[in-house]
Amino acid sequence: MAVAAGDHWSSRFAFLMAAVGFAVGLGNIWRFPYITGENGGAAFVIIYLVCAFGIGVPILIAELMIGRRGQASPPEAVAAVALESGRSRQWQWVGGMGLLAAYTIEIVYSVIVGWVLWYLFKAVTTGFADVDAVSAGTQFAAVLDNNIGMLFWTLLGLVITGAIIYAGVKDGIERAVVVMMPLMFLLLLGLATYNYFAGGFQEAVTWLFTPDFSKIGADSVLAAIGQAFFSIGVAMGGMMIYGSYLPRSISISQSVLIIVVADTTVALLAGLVIFPAVFHYGLDPAAGAGLIFQTLPVAFAQMPGGHLFSVLFFLMLTVAGITSMVGLVECVNAWIEDRFGIPRHRSAVLVIGSVAVLSILSILSYNVLGDLNFGGRNINDSMDYFSNQILLPLGGLLIAVFAGWFVKRDASRDELWALHRLSYEGWRFLIRYIVPPALAIIFVMGVSG
């Protein structure tokens, strides 16, 4: 079933806000700045940008090109492009891998977004007043032990996401992202400006932007490749379905460059929001995911205006989490519509409902089912490993091979009409000879690690 005429973005701005919102998630807000600091600051940023433009840009162009050419959900879009190029319909399984990755990620991710909403509520009601390192740890442990509370906030996040999906592309997704993403950018800029005067800003700038090439090695390059691939959000189906809503008048290549630059800018700005407080209050910058829920509340309790800062910070994270969930759910929702011919509102309820039920397994793995292991990994770790270490790199590899070697040159050239001839040949070279080996390395490292 082709994408309906009414299901196209009304402007490039709307598409860019949706795509950037999908790419910018909770993980890349805290993880990218931390990895940057640990791997040589500006030296790592340079390597990351080379990887982002050499690997992320070509494959994102390919995914959007396939989506727009196929005009359907990821499996059906890949099948349509394959048939047009005289290839087997079985290539649809490449799109199917993206759906499976998105669905698996959503089960775990929805619970984490629930934590963010819960902490937003805590920020509004208490501002983390008088919280110290011990009480912050105790508070987070209490969250992980409270299954009813986690379920409530997870369901709230899913209801918000479902309402956006339910309303449709223009009335739901587009209306949401054109408000939420500019709001997130404003919050980032405002919080970074606040930190400039509040203390710790210079230490954060030094951490993020001082080049230290002595820290650059093979591991740093692999980290840059992995971060470039995962942070842009390819091989999860979301970009492909967003591409199917993209009018032909909009340049894919120009849009992709904006998406990657915006994604990187948001990640670096997030570093200037998070790390000044971390350094100013002598906290641990290597706290990982715990940085958000255990370390930063201690800073909020100590800083002037910490109550307001904490509210705005968790509001920003809520926007990042919800817009990513929308992209993850939408690709699966579109496939349900395609495959079974049911209306959007019904498919939205089915997808959100099934994720809600399965999220209970994710919630219980933090306590009751914590000892249930599969090959040494609990339920959440197993789903994370399956999606991030297997489905995403393997799916991305197959997308690159399909676009570079099996899609007819005329078809890809027709979709990438805005590219100069030399730029198009450059994309063809990268998607054929550079991207597949790089993703093969990520896949082997992930499986063997």
The pLDDT of residue 265 is above 80: yes
Are the beta carbons of 74 and 254 closer than 8 angstroms?
A: no
| CATH (domain of 431) | 1.20.1740
Are the beta carbons of 4 and 171 closer than 8 angstroms?
A: no
What is the SS3 assignment for 328? helix
| Nearest one of 22, 29, 319 to 179, comparing CA atoms | 319
**pLDDT tens-place string over residues 284-331:** 887 777 788 988 999 999 988 999 999 999 999 999 999 999 999 999
Give the model's pLDDT for residue 4. Answer: 56
pLDDT band of residue 3 (cuts 50, 70, 90) is: low
Give the model's pLDDT for residue 6. Answer: 58
- Number of domains into which the chain is organized: 1
Q: Which residue has the tokens 């700005």?
A: 269
Give the model's pLDDT for residue 313. Answer: 95
Within its chain, how far is the Cα of 400 from the centroid?
A: 19
pLDDT > 90 in the chain, percent: 76
Q: What is the mean pLDDT of the chain?
A: 93
Within its chain, how far is the Cα of 433 from the centroid?
A: 26
Q: Which residue has the tokens 């219980």?
A: 364
**pLDDT tens-place string over residues 108-161:** 999 999 999 999 999 999 999 999 989 999 999 999 999 999 999 999 999 999
The pLDDT of residue 65 is above 90: yes
| Range with the largest mean pLDDT of 171-180, 267-276, 282-291 | 171-180
Q: How far apart are CA 299 and CA 304, in angstroms?
A: 10
**pLDDT tens-place string over residues 399-427:** 999 999 999 999 999 999 999 999 999 99
The pLDDT of residue 7 is above 90: no
CB atoms within 10 A of CB 440: 14
The pLDDT of residue 1 is above 80: no
Concatenated DSSP letters of 370-438:
TT--BTTB-HHHHHHIIIIIIIHHHHHHHHHHIIIIIS-HHHHHHHTTTS-HHHHHHHHHIIIIIHHHH
Burial 334-353 (b: 16+ CB within 10 A, else e): bbbbbeeeeebeebbeebbe
Region of 234 on the Ramachandran plot (φ > 0 left; ψ -120 to 50 alpha; else beta): beta
CB atoms within 10 A of CB 430: 22
Give the model's pLDDT for residue 88. Answer: 97
- Rounded to an integer, the average pLDDT of 202-208 is 91
Q: 309 is in which domain, residue-wise?
A: 5-448
Cα–Cα distances in angstroms (integers) from residue 130 to residues 76, 127, 135, 221, 302, in the given order: 54, 9, 9, 42, 8
Instruction: Find the helix packing angle between 133-145 and 92-125, rounded to 10°.
Output: 130
Angle of CA points 124, 129, 132, to nearest 5°: 130
- Rounded to an integer, the average pLDDT of 28-56 is 88
